[in-house]
């Protein structure tokens, strides 16, 4: 839907409210229409009004929590996520975001949280990330591979972990004879399929996919993916299992300057370089190079990242 359609939807839902002011769904849908127009304070108010009618309305609690979180209203968002956990104990979003906003570091994001998050973002992900936030991880990771990769720079089989809509895949397509993408979000994979560039796309958890795959790869990439795990042990082990002789593993992390890893209020993890270097060595990789790089903007600041290129030496 375009902005004009969301504006028309807003008018329709407002008419529904005028006719039935106790209809919780009308306020909820009004909130979505306002949110899609970038009118966050009004969207928050619409969700609150839905919850006045029904304080246990799970969908309104979810959207209100997410919108408050997006506006960095951390304490209010935490209260809403805690209420959502009471209403829906199975909610992966409530579980993960309550931990993130309470200062509790878990081992990884729940798979259902990641899938729902990126399903929600899929339709306008490229515009939001590249146009709105200056996201550049695929380009700078491609440059790192080009600067420190094999000569000639060509890979027979490449694997894009957490491929999303295909931004990373498009950055490396020209140097890959065969390119496979894997992502947990069905809607992101559908966007990648529409954009083209992959020889195969798979909806799966990346660790599960790596453990089940039976052919090796000589390039594995993961742009803006490792920040959805804290403990990377299983991921590194699974990547190592699928590396051909001399394979490269290129990826980004968000930077921790203290703990090996910790869960931030954003709901993503940061990793310290010592933890990555230790994992790499323990998993049979040689560190080719690493460098600091701004990955994107977020709330008027830049997200400090680090790029890594490893080579399988096992």
DSSP, res 255 = B
Range of the structural domain that residue 172 is part of = 126-312
pLDDT of 2 reads 60
Q: Any bridge partners for residue 285, and if so which?
A: 312
* C-alpha distances in Å from residue 310, one per residue of 96, 185, 313: 30, 27, 9
**Region of residue 268 (phi > 0: left; psi between -120 and 50: alpha; otherwise: beta):** beta
Q: What pLDDT is stored for residue 4 in this prediction? A: 77
- Residue 214 belongs to some domain of the structure: yes
Same domain flag for 174 and 288: yes
Residues 171 and 282 in one domain: yes
Final residue of a domain: which of 72, 104, 136? 104
Is residue 12 in a domain?
A: yes
Q: What is the pLDDT at residue 183?
A: 98
Q: Are 207 and 288 contained in the same domain? A: yes
Q: Tell me: do 229 and 270 sit in the same domain.
A: yes
Of the CA atoms within 13 Å of residue 278, those in its CB half-sphere come to 10
- The verdict on 56 and 188 lying in the same domain is no
Token code pair at residue 13: 């839902």
Q: In what order do the strands lie in the sheet with 285-298?
A: 200-203, 176-183, 155-161, 217-222, 243-254, 301-312, 285-298
From 70, 104, 138, give the residue that closes a domain: 104
Same domain, yes or no: 48 and 164: no
pLDDT of residue 1: 53
Tell me if 198 sits within 8 A of 224, measured CB to CB: no
Q: Is residue 202 part of a domain?
A: yes
Please check whether residues 184 and 306 belong to one and the same domain: yes
Q: What are phi and psi of 38, to 5 degrees?
A: 80, 20
CA distance 137 to 143: 10
Please tell me whether residues 86 and 164 are part of one structural domain: no
For residue 111, being part of any structural domain is answered with: no
| Number of folded domains that form the chain | 2
Q: Are residues 276 and 180 in the same domain?
A: yes
Query: Do 82 and 142 reside in the same domain of the chain?
Result: no
Q: Are residues 131 and 280 in the same domain?
A: yes
How much is the pTM? 0.94
What are the pLDDT digits (tens) for 258-274? 999 999 999 999 999 99
Element (H, E) at 51: helix 40-53
* CATH number for 224: 3.40.50.150
Report the CATH number at residue 48: 1.25.40.10
Task: List Cβ neighbours of 284 (8 Å cut-off, separation of 6 or more).
Answer: 240, 312, 313, 314
Last residue in a domain, options 44, 73, 104:
104
Residues of the chain with pLDDT under 50: none
- Note whether 40 and 90 are same-domain residues: yes
In a domain, 147, yes or no: yes
Residue 119 in domain: no
b (16+ CB within 10 A) / e for 82-120? bbbbeebeebbbbbbbbbbbeeeeeebbbeebbbbbbee
**Residue 74 in domain:** yes
């Amino acid at each position: 839907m375009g902005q004009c359609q969301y504006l028309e939807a807003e008018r329709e839902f407002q008419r529904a409210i005028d006719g039935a002011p106790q209809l919780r769904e009308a306020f909820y849908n009004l909130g979505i229409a306002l949110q899609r127009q970038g009118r966050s304070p009004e969207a928050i108010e619409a969700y609150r009004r839905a919850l006045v009618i029904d304080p246990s309305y799970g969908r309104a609690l979810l959207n209100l929590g997410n919108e408050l979180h997006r506006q960095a209203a951390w304490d209010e968002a935490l209260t809403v996520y805690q209420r959502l956990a009471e209403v829906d104990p199975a909610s992966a979003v409530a579980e993960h975001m309550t931990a993130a906003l309470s200062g509790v570091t878990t081992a990884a994001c729940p798979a259902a949280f990641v899938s729902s998050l990126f399903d929600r973002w899929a339709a306008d992900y490229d515009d939001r990330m590249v146009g709105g936030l200056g996201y550049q991880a695929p380009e700078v990771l491609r440059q790192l591979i080009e600067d420190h990769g094999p000569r000639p720079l060509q890979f027979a089989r490449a694997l894009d972990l957490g491929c999303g809509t295909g931004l990373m895949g498009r950055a490396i397509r020209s140097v890959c004879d065969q390119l496979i993408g894997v992502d947990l979000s069905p809607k992101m994979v559908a966007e990648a399929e529409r954009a083209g560039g992959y020889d195969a796309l798979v909806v799966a958890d990346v660790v599960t996919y790596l453990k089940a795959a039976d052919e090796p790869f000589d390039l594995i990439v993961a742009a803006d993916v490792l920040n959805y795990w804290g403990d990377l042990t299983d991921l590194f082990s699974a990547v190592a299992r699928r590396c051909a002789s001399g394979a490269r593993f290129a990826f980004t992390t968000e930077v921790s300057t203290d703990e090996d890893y910790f869960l931030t209020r954003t709901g993503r993890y940061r990793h310290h370089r010592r933890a990555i270097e230790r994992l790499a060595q323990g998993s049979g990789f040689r560190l080719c190079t690493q460098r600091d790089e701004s990955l994107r903007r977020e709330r008027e600041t830049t997200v400090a990242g680090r790029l890594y290129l490893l080579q399988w030496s096992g």
